[in-house]
Structure 1
């Protein structure tokens, strides 16, 4: 355990430069006193590591010192190969870079770990898009990625779902997210962070303007909060239903988790059906979704939704009579 921690400490200093004992302790999840002991152990082992006191002080490696990629466990080596995602990397314009990095990683690993890395590539494949849906066409993705990396503002012509459908925007792209086969950029526009689907960008021009992202911006944390807020806004009402065990099983194939949870929370009746309350986006969406369950669900309320489904089923009966 200590050997792994010493290697982690060494790699932290190699990759990040000077760090204080407090920063190292936080990264390694140990006490500051443990960091002091580990530093002394590395110095005793001949690692050219030195410390400086004062406000700007900390521990650092002598200039030019690099350690070889050693000390990886089998699980760590496998994880590194699993992290190589050729599909998304190619869309970002980094396919050849990823391939070169994997070759260098293979060359640095001992033969047994190199073989296990190849097996990982043979046994696992990432297919990001959902079933029955094509991935986005994203011809402007490399340009957006370059703007994110270089902190350069961009001008875009963008297509949205509400009027006016085509708009022009100056964006400061702060990050990129791949969600269910669709690429998004979190960008600042008019001093506000917004989310844009990159596949909806019709034209793009990189501007000669450099920007700084908002202070404290964290892409993962921002996306998590954005997703949670979107989920809350999604549900506009509720519907009371009776649903059979077969209907609940079919919900697993297409319904949102909130709908599945609501259906399962209902009290079971003697025949196995459940009387449940589920969230709905809109009457139109609820009608189309519940019609997919056929006779395995009955809408009890609201009355307007029940009447809409009754009208649709009567029309279907006439069509197939």
Structure 2
């Protein structure tokens, strides 16, 4: 564990003993903090540069307690991207936490090479988009607006990590797609806050208090956020064939989350398990990318498979 992370855990443990409310408030502020945007990786630079860009004005959902809406009622600019033939069927990509659209670089190349159009965006506080915070509600708004601009359902919606949860709930709530592809996904907002508690050093006894503080600090106008953002309780429609892809050594989102998601969508989904790729490298793996293309072309199937990448 890095020294800075050990120090932060020790600080939260100490603060939780002497001043639990302060520990919860500081933890909630830290939870919502995105940090510096991830840069475009050199391997993805050519794909990033080739995109057609369209700015999207968006009013952030995040609120800081009594301070009101960030930007004093203003808007931010969300960067949206498109690749491929403008008249081709479209695939929507939704990236994860502290990532950006270009992280799908190899997948974008595969999809456009297959004759598809690709649409993606940098979430608020990420990539080239404005803002400092991101919530699933922001993603829902952006996904709906991008979907409303389409003349047909998406050929596929591909999510990674947090993007799986946001995209899946958007589909549950009516966004139309012919396929759903979920890479290293989360099951719920509650799982995300639980993961923060485990990693931060905040005592587990304060778990419920932390979850409440996170909601009040960032989303005070949305008391149903935990119930709403739960893909096990609110699954993707059974009419949408779904492919779950997850590495069994993922240290960010454990593999069992996709097992649970597959079981909750058993009549319409397939689980593809990898070994040795972790949370982010899975996006560039050749066999994973091939499986995504197969999912686009094949009829719905159920079951599971395991893939171990070749030694490098």
Q: Which has the higher contact order (CA 8 A, sep 6+)?
A: 2
Between structures 1 and 2, the one with greater strand share: 1
Q: More helix by proportion, 1 or 2?
A: 1
Same fold, judged at TM 0.5 (above) = no
TM-score bracket for this pair, using the shorter chain length: under 0.3
Normalising by structure 2, we get a TM-score of 0.24
* TM-score (normalizing by structure 1): 0.23
